[in-house]
Every structure is written in structure tokens, then in C-alpha cells.
Structure 1
Amino acid sequence: MIDQLAITASAAEWLPAARQLAGELQLRCLDCAEPSRLDAPAFVLQRGERLQLCATGRKAPGPVFVDFVGGTAAHRRKYGGGKGQQIAKAVGLRSGFYPGVVDATAGLGRDAFVLASLGCKVHMLERNPVVRALLRDGLERLQNAALEDVELAPIAQRLGLEESDVSARDWLQDQAPESIPVVYLDPMFPERGKSAGVKKEMAAFHQLVGSDEDADGLLEPALAACYYRTVVKRPRLAPCLAGRKPALSLEGKSGRFDIYTKHGVPG
């Protein structure tokens, strides 16, 4: 990753923050270099009003960033279907019951934000330091927006990020048995080639981050740590995690939620 990535600033005022981030991630800082004018490295993290991952070169796709305030997150928060969404059903959410969730493979935090917006307290784990930096930036902007938006304030309070470098497997193994109401897993699945359903910028993101080849090792520690259930999000035709059949599955057009139950959720 070090050979593929560097840090830049969108303007001179962001240079101190860019250089600080470069030190934290042990990456080169290219000062205010414009991503579209670079031939190498393949990606830069650009520090500006928001932190964003940019592919370099003239024909590069758009940037990848975490946005919990506007865009898709805002639309889904307002019009996404509330408790009727499959993810809400998968974690067992119902009126009067909003289980705490550990999202052990948070990625860009989209599902974590949905669950937090529906009332669950969500703790995100993300082992990739670049993705974790994007999440941290998104959370900071959410918290700033929440100071003036009464609808965002409770969501910001319910959404948190683990700052340590520990892997999800080790973190889960360190938890007391049955101490987490719900563990949620959405490991990065290998791309199936050029799919029209995968935006170019997300394809570039997957290229940098890679797939979670060790994802099968997450299931047992998740099952040991959870109290009610472990929920695994999978592509619709993907094999079950660790080859273990779930108690039940909720299928959609392109994906499914495999649910491994332990104790029944309150009725």
C-alpha cells in the first residue's frame, strides 16, 4: 500500500493537516500536487474540507470519501424505509428494541450509519488505516453538522469508531462471552470482474483495499462474543461464511443477510 499511496493537500491552508496525516500513516506528502496531474503513485489521500481517496491520472474516476451528512446517507435516512429495511430486520430491530451493534468490518460506514439512524448504538471496527482515516473524517464532519442539526445530533452520539490497530478477530476474541448484543459482518468480497453495478470509483477503492481473504476466521469469535445474533452480509450467490449454514437468511436482489442466532430477541 505504501508504494501505491501518498498524501496531498487541496490547498496550502491544508498542508499542516496533510503533513500530520502523512506522519501518522507513514506515507509521503506531495504537498499540493493535483491528483489528475500525477502519474504515480496510483492513489493519493487528499486533505481538504473533507478527506478523500483519489486515483491519479487524467482519466481517473471520482474520489471516495465518507459522507454521513448529505448525499446517499441523507436520502436513505429520510426515505430508506425505516425499520422495514432488511438490515433492520436482520439485526432484530423492532419498536422498543434497538440492540447495540459492533460493525466489525465497517468499510465506509454506510450500514453502520443506517443502523445508528434507526436507533442502534454502533461501534465500528476497521483494520485498514486508510479506510479508518476516511471514517474518522466522516465522523468529525457528522459531529460538526450535528451541532446545528437536531436530527443528526442523536445519530452522531450513537456512532463510534475503534481507534486501535487491532484486527476485528483479535478485538472480538478479547471481549467477554455474549457481551455484545449483535455483531455485524460485511467482509470485502472479491470482485467478480467488471460489473456494471460497481461504480468506477468504488472499483478503484477495492483495488487499493483488497478483499478480506481471512474473513472466515471472523465468524467463530463473533458468535462467541454476541448475545442475540451475528449477522453476515453477503453477495446473493456467495458461499456462507466459513461454510457454516445460518439459522435463516434474508435475500434481496443482489445480496443477502445470513443470521446466526443465539438467544431470542425481545418480542
Structure 2
Amino acid sequence: MQTQTTLYRAGLEGPQQAELEALLAPFLLPETTVPQGWFLTLQDGALVLRNADLPKQGDILVDFASGAATYRRKFGGGKGEGIAKAVGLGKKPQLHVIDATAGLGRDAFVLASLGAHVTLVERNPAVAALLADGLRRAALDAQTADWLPARMQLVHLSALQALSTLPPADVVFLDPMFPPREKSALVKKEMRAFHDVVGADDDADALLAPALALATHRVVVKRPGYAGFLAGQKPTMSIEGKNNRFDVYVNAGF
């Protein structure tokens, strides 16, 4: 059931409520339509997406400075990771990548931590607000303040708008939402939020052609291992992972 809402719940004490409204002001309009139950609020200084009907599922937030992001940055596969190989970081360390479907920014963060400069594109106002807050807090954290702000910038546009208006980049990265087969609690929580609040990526196939026109070197499409090729177009090569596949469409070599 859809309802007209500002997507945040009033009731915070004065300064906190003012801080919340200031964080949301660049993204959320009073007429924003979201499903019943979802709202944005502040928790321990971070902007979080919460469902009043699912309190045990926990908050969804963007955190680039701790937890899983820090672990992956320190102990992940580095430039040996599938996504790093797919975009070509081993051939050109300081690539400019447009992540046209940024979501919660996890793949963009991995690329930025390995030296890429990433433009994050997110059309949904709630998710864009979460990303902006994650970038804000990362700019204040000692682990990320000296490099992350220079390597990650957010653009609040639809992917199609961004691909027709942004200047060319070395790589365009696409990760359109796809129904998951995994049954983990994390996937359930975040995928429910994305399906409820964001909706389906019905225009996903339409992104490939403008992405190929914008990317100077390659387009990389992240897909579940069981999914077909985007727009039915066979890639130049694919890099297989445990659960996902990176389809690489090469325009030019590095």
C-alpha cells in the first residue's frame, strides 16, 4: 500500500529533528510516495531507513568507515577482486568510474578504496539521502577522511538522465536490481527495503546503449550468476564470482 509521506517520522527532540530535516532537504519532497511503514530517522548520529512494522530486522544505513566496509577494504581481495578486474584497475589505477545504479554504494566504495574516482548516481531520494549521509560521516572519520571525499561524489539523478548529461568516463558500472535467490537475513532485509522503497529497475535494459556511448573504455554489468545478459547483448568477456558475474563490454583498451 502506498501513501503520501515525507519519508521521515516526526518526534525527535528539537535539534535532532532539525538535523534530520536538514539532511533530507536536498533529496526529499513532501509529495514523495513511499510504502506504508518505511521512514528515515536518526540513530546514533547516522541517517537510517527503518520499517515500523519490522523492528527486529534492524536499520539500513550507509557506513563507509566501519563494519563490513572496513573489513573488505583491509582484508578483501584488493585488485584481485572480480569487480576490480572487470573495470580494469590493474591496468589503470586511477580510473574514473560512473556507478549509474549506486544503491548503498558498496561496490563504489571498493573501487574508490583501490584508487578509482567514482561518481555515484542514485535516483531514489531516500537512498540518495542515505548515501549522502554515509559520505558525510566518512569525511569526518580518521580512517577515510584523507581519501574518500576526493574519490566519491554523489549525483542525485536517474541513471538514464546521468548517462545523457554527465561527461564521459573511463568505465560505466551498472548493477540493476534483480530478484535474489539467496535466503540470508541480510538479503531479505535489504532486498525488501529496495523492492518496497525503490521499486523494480524496469528500465535496466535501456541503460546499456547509453552506457556504451558514454564510456570511453568499457561498461561493466554486475549480474547474479543465474541471470541473462543485460538487454540480451553478449559481453566481450565475463568474470565469474561465487554468486555474481561481471559482464564486460569493451569499447577500447587501456
TM-score bracket for the superposition, by shorter chain length: 0.7 to 0.9
- How far does the alpha carbon of each residue in 1:129-176 deviate from its partner, in whole angstroms, 9 at most, with x for none? 11000000000001111xx34x5411331111114xx32112212346
Q: Report the Cα distance in structure 2 between the residues aligned to 1:115 and 1:138, rounded to whole angstroms.
A: 16
Q: Report the Cα distance in structure 1 between the residues aligned to 2:177 and 2:60, rounded to whole angstroms.
A: 16
1:170 is matched with which residue: 161, 166, 184?
161
> Aligned with 1:222: secondary structure?
helix
Q: Report the Cα distance in structure 1 between the residues aligned to 2:62 and 2:252, rounded to whole angstroms.
A: 34
- How far does the alpha carbon of each residue in 1:81-133 deviate from its partner, in whole angstroms, 9 at most, with x for none? 11111110000111653311000000000000000000000010000011000
Matched, 1:7 2:14: no
Q: Report the Cα distance in structure 2 between the residues aligned to 1:195 and 1:74, rounded to whole angstroms.
A: 25
1:181 is matched with which residue: 170, 174, 183?
170
Instruction: Report 1:60-139 matches (<5 A).
Output: 60-94=56-90, 97-139=93-135
1:155 is matched with which residue: 126, 148, 161?
148
CA contact (8 A) 2:93 2:114 kept: no
CA 1:241–1:201 in 2, change beyond 3 Å: closer, same or farther? same
* Unmatched runs of 5 consecutive residues or more in structure 1: 29-39
Q: Which has the higher contact order (CA 8 A, sep 6+)?
A: 2
1:240 is matched with which residue: 204, 207, 229?
229
Scaled by the length of structure 2, what TM-score is found?
Answer: 0.88
Q: Report the Cα distance in structure 2 between the residues aligned to 1:97 and 1:46, rounded to whole angstroms.
A: 38
> Aligned with 1:188: secondary structure?
coil
Task: Compare 94-103 and 218-227 and name the one that shifted more.
Answer: 94-103
Matched, 1:56 2:52: yes
- How far does the alpha carbon of each residue in 1:46-86 deviate from its partner, in whole angstroms, 9 at most, with x for none? 12400000011365411100000001000000000111111
Matched, 1:259 2:248: yes
Scaled by the length of structure 1, what TM-score is found?
Answer: 0.84
Matched, 1:204 2:192: yes
Instruction: Report 1:210-249 matches (<5 A).
Output: 210-249=199-238
> Aligned with 2:208: secondary structure?
helix
Work out the number of aligned pairs and report it. 246
CA-atom RMSD in angstroms: 2.4
CA contact (8 A) 2:135 2:149 kept: yes
> Aligned with 1:7: secondary structure?
coil
Q: Report the Cα distance in structure 2 between the residues aligned to 1:262 and 1:125, rounded to whole angstroms.
A: 21
2:29 is matched with which residue: 26, 30, 35?
26
CA contact (8 A) 1:136 1:161 kept: yes
Deviation at 1:210, TM superposition (A): 1.9
> Structure 1: which 4+ aligned runs deviate by more than 6 Å?
none
CA contact (8 A) 1:123 1:162 kept: yes
Q: Report the Cα distance in structure 1 between the residues aligned to 2:122 and 2:226, rounded to whole angstroms.
A: 25
1:46 is matched with which residue: 41, 46, 66?
41
- How far does the alpha carbon of each residue in 1:157-202 deviate from its partner, in whole angstroms, 9 at most, with x for none? 1111114xx32112212346xx21000000111344x723753321
- How far does the alpha carbon of each residue in 1:6-40 deviate from its partner, in whole angstroms, 9 at most, with x for none? 31368413111234456652349xxxxxxxxxxx9
CA contact (8 A) 1:183 1:226 kept: yes
The percentage of counterpart residues that share the same residue type is 43
CA 1:259–1:143 in 2, change beyond 3 Å: closer, same or farther? same
Q: Report the Cα distance in structure 1 between the residues aligned to 2:20 and 2:52, rounded to whole angstroms.
A: 17
Q: Which residue pairs with 1:195 in the alignment?
A: 183
CA contact (8 A) 1:9 1:18 kept: no
- How far does the alpha carbon of each residue in 1:189-247 deviate from its partner, in whole angstroms, 9 at most, with x for none? 1344x723753321331232222111001000000000110000001010110110000
Task: Compare 40-49 and 125-134 and name the one that shifted more.
Answer: 40-49
* Unmatched runs of 5 consecutive residues or more in structure 2: none
CA 1:83–1:246 in 2, change beyond 3 Å: closer, same or farther? same
